[in-house]
Amino acid sequence: MTTYAALLRGINVGGSRKLPMADLRTLMTGLGHDDVRTYLQSGQAVFTAGRGEEESLAAELTRAIEARFGFAVDVLVRDHAYLAAVADACPFPAAELQGRQLHVTYLSAPVTPDRFASIDQPARLPEEFRTGDRCLYLYTPGGPTPSKLAGELSRPRVTKGLIATSRNWNTVLKLVEMTRD
């Protein structure tokens, strides 16, 4: 059995696309997953599964959510080893920062630097970003809002063809802890 985190994009935000976490746990248990737990209301579920790959598990959950709740949700599934590696590879001094100052955007595929060529990073200092393994690290000293750099990074020309969902550093670490076997 492998322990995974399912990262759901854009649910329970601003009163739309409501997906109660108890209902999500029930749905995932019905799909045959074990030890299903959720974290916060913003779309994190941890579960164990003995079958499937990350992409197939995500696709299965996406289909099940749409069938049950009537709306599509982008889902990424990542295992503990990946989540821990992302946390360990953080290029910013995470231990010295507040959780709201550092974010990870998990991506559905690897990205190359040319995807971000239109962003003038020096003009956005002290905010900074770095790419990682199917992720992007974002440092915003003032927090996520109002971050002009975060806005630029989420524009369709940058995220075209990707599922992208962001989590603050506290959530990143909590998911590493929750998926630890």
Report pLDDT digits (tens) over 113-125: 889 988 999 999 9
Same CATH topology for 2-81 and 86-179?
yes
Residue 84 pLDDT exceeds 90? yes
Q: Topology of 86-179 in CATH?
A: Alpha-Beta Plaits (3.30.70)
Structure tokens at 36: 């299903």
C-beta of residue 66 within 8 angstroms of C-beta of residue 49: no
What distance in Å separates the CA atoms of residue 45 and residue 38, rounded to the nearest whole number? 4
b (16+ CB within 10 A) / e for 78-112: bbbebbbebbeebebebeeeebebbbbbbbbeebe
Residue 13 pLDDT exceeds 80? no
| Better-scored residue on pLDDT, 156 or 126 | 126
Q: Which of 45, 54, 51, 74 lies closest to 62, judged by CA?
A: 74
pLDDT band at 61 (very low <50, low <70, confident <90, very high): very high
Per-residue pLDDT, 105: 95
Helix (H) or strand (E) holding 48: strand 44-49
Kindly indicate whether the domain formed by 2-81 is annotated with CATH number 3.30.70.1280.
Answer: yes
Share above pLDDT 70 across residues of the chain, in percent, rounded to a whole number: 98
Residue 144 pLDDT exceeds 80? no
pLDDT tens profile 35-56: 999 998 778 999 999 877 999 9
Angle formed at CA 167 by CA 134 and CA 141, multiple of 5 degrees: 105
Sheet arrangement for strand 2-8:
34-39, 44-49, 2-8, 75-79
Report, as an integer, the average pLDDT of 165-181: 94
Domain ranges of the chain: 2-81, 86-179
